[in-house]
């Protein structure tokens, strides 16, 4: 996967020659002919426009993006502009080549109406999507607490998709950052009319107005997440928050995190989870950088449910730190672990990078043969993840009914270089922690 968040360039912006700028015939007759043609074409264009406007939801069309190039989009929703006429709409579009976090409201003049394709039958499409869901995904959606439903049927699923298709909150203020959101998050109905929310960076309570937040900050006595500080190294701290003991905090964190997580469901039942909050500390307090959640008991040996680095802190190595931390906890528990699926595009990139670096570092240093089981025991990485990582790097061969790791030092070096930076290190000597089952 190449660059995320920055779509590759597309060559389709000028695929639509404008008749007005077409080469002009020098002869008078010729000029007249092309002028008539132009009039005719603009007539046709006007008629076509009036027949297709306002665009229907489901329409596929090319749209000018912030890179000034045209990209294919699907219209997800439309709304009237405040002062516009009957045909003046804005459109919420999904760039079909890119992740949903780039979905946005666009103006009509960003759309190339000559590229409009036939309207897609939404119902048919939604059915196909719902059929593609695995049982696990259905279970997860069920857990988003459509209460009273054992399993989501196609209609409820459509309703869920319908409900989450347009981003509700556009920006949040958190600490010293104003952050653009990526996805829909199911805030309580009284927040439906807010485009921006103000979060207390310590207790994560959220408010509709800045003055409310200011008032709250004068009263709020937290200067760090609730719970126990289980790691401190330099200015970095990790807090463990028990969802049962700090229910409101856990729920607020889920609302916040969902703004940046597409396929993860929100657990109101935060009792079942522990939250590990990574903070950067200074004399004003401990400021949340990111977090991961972990089920207190996981039958599937998940050691991490959701992971997030807040956008202002991304690409600085915190994600790999959080991943490494989750495996350090697994080591202390004497278990192997794996992240809950599905992984997002960025989640997969981060995990692949982490697994590659950890495994190849060991292979480089290790003399003699080593098995996947031994690698798993040393790293707490589940054997399946080791196998798929080494297979994707073509370091595994299947000989005489066995997987054999082939570790040519030059090949290892090449892969290590490609795996990017190592991220911030976890200093295990600074981790003071007892696994949940032993916490009494």
In the structure encoding, which two tokens stand for residue 174, read together? 């958190």
By C-beta, is 5 or 19 nearer to ligand ACO? 5
In the annotation, is 328 catalytic? Answer: no
In the structure encoding, which two tokens stand for residue 391, read together? 């297979």
Q: Of 34-42, 195-203, 294-302, 398-406, which part binds Zn ion (CB under 5 A)? A: 195-203
Q: Which does 265 bind (CB under 5 to 8 A by kind): Zn ion, ligand ACO, none?
A: none
In the structure encoding, which two tokens stand for residue 274, read together? 């522990």
User: Are the CB atoms for 341 and 136 separated by under 8 Å?
Assistant: yes
Radius of gyration, CA atoms only, the chain: 26
Q: For residue 34, how many C-alpha atoms fall within 13 Å in the half-sphere facing its CB?
A: 13
- Report the SS3 class of residue 354: helix
Q: Which does 285 bind (CB under 5 to 8 A by kind): ligand ACO, Zn ion, none?
A: none
Which of 93, 108, 200, 238 is close enough to bind Zn ion by CB under 5 A? Answer: 200
**Least distance from C-beta 74 to ligand ACO, angstroms?**
22
**Least distance from C-beta 322 to Zn ion, angstroms?**
23
- Beta pairing, strands 338-339 & 302-304: parallel
Q: Per the residue annotation, which of 104, 201, 295, 340 is the catalytic one? A: 340
By C-beta, is 249 or 355 nearer to ligand ACO? 355
Give the CB-nearest residue to ligand ACO.
319
Q: For residue 260, how many C-alpha atoms fall within 13 Å in the half-sphere facing its CB?
A: 21
Distances (CA, A) of 339 to 293, 316, 330, 425: 10, 21, 11, 19
Number of residues that bind Zn ion (CB under 5 A): 4
**Least distance from C-beta 1 to ligand ACO, angstroms?**
7
- Report the SS3 class of residue 19: helix
By C-beta, is 89 or 318 nearer to ligand ACO? 318
Alpha-carbon gap, residue 292 to 319, rounded angstroms? 9
By C-beta, is 361 or 377 nearer to ligand ACO? 361
Q: With binding defined as CB under 5 A, does residue 220 bind Zn ion? A: yes
Q: With binding defined as CB under 5 A, does residue 203 bind Zn ion? A: yes
Binding residues for Zn ion (CB under 5 A): 200, 202-203, 220
Active site residues: 340
């Amino acid at each position: 996967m190449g660059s995320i968040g920055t779509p590759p360039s597309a060559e389709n912006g000028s695929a639509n020659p404008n008749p007005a700028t077409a080469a002009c015939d020098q002869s008078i007759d010729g000029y007249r002919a092309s002028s008539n043609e132009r009039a005719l074409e603009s007539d046709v264009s006007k008629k076509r426009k009036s027949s297709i406007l306002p665009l229907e939801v489901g329409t596929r069309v090319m749209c000018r993006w912030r890179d000034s190039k045209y990209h294919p989009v699907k219209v997800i929703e439309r709304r009237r502009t405040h002062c516009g006429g009957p045909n003046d709409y804005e459109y919420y579009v999904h760039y079909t080549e890119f992740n949903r976090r780039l979905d946005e409201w666009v103006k009509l003049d960003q759309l190339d109406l000559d590229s409009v394709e036939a309207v897609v039958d939404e119902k048919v499409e939604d059915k196909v999507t719902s059929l593609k869901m695995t049982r696990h995904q259905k279970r997860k959606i069920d857990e988003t607490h459509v209460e009273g439903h054992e399993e989501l049927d196609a209609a409820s699923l459509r309703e869920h998709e319908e409900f989450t298709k347009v981003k509700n909150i556009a920006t949040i203020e958190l600490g010293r950052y104003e952050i653009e959101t990526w996805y829909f998050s199911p805030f309580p109905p009284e927040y439906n009319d807010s485009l921006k929310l103000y979060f207390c960076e310590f207790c994560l309570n959220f408010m509709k107005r800045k003055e409310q937040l200011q008032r709250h900050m004068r009263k709020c006595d937290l200067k760090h997440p609730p719970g126990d500080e289980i790691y401190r190294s330099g200015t970095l701290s990790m807090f463990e928050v028990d969802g049962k003991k700090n229910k409101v905090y856990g729920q607020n964190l889920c609302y916040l995190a969902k703004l940046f997580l597409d396929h993860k469901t929100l657990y109101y039942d935060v009792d079942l989870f522990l939250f590990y909050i990574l903070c950067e500390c200074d004399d004003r307090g401990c400021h949340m950088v990111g977090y991961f959640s972990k089920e207190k008991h996981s039958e599937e040996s998940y050691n991490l449910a959701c992971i997030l680095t807040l956008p202002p802190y991304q690409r600085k190595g915190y994600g790999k730190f959080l991943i490494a931390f989750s495996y350090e906890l697994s080591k202390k528990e004497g278990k192997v672990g794996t992240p809950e699926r599905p992984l997002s595009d960025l989640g997969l990139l981060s995990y692949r990078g982490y697994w590659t670096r950890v495994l190849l570092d060991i292979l480089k240093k290790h003399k003699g043969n080593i098995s996947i089981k031994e690698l798993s025991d040393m790293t707490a990485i589940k054997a399946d993840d080791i196998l798929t990582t080494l297979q994707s790097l073509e370091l595994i061969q299947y000989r005489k009914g066995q997987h054999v790791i082939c570790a040519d030092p030059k090949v290892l070096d090449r892969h290590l270089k490609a795996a990017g930076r190592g991220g911030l290190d976890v200093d295990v000597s600074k981790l003071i922690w007892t696994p949940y089952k032993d916490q009494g």
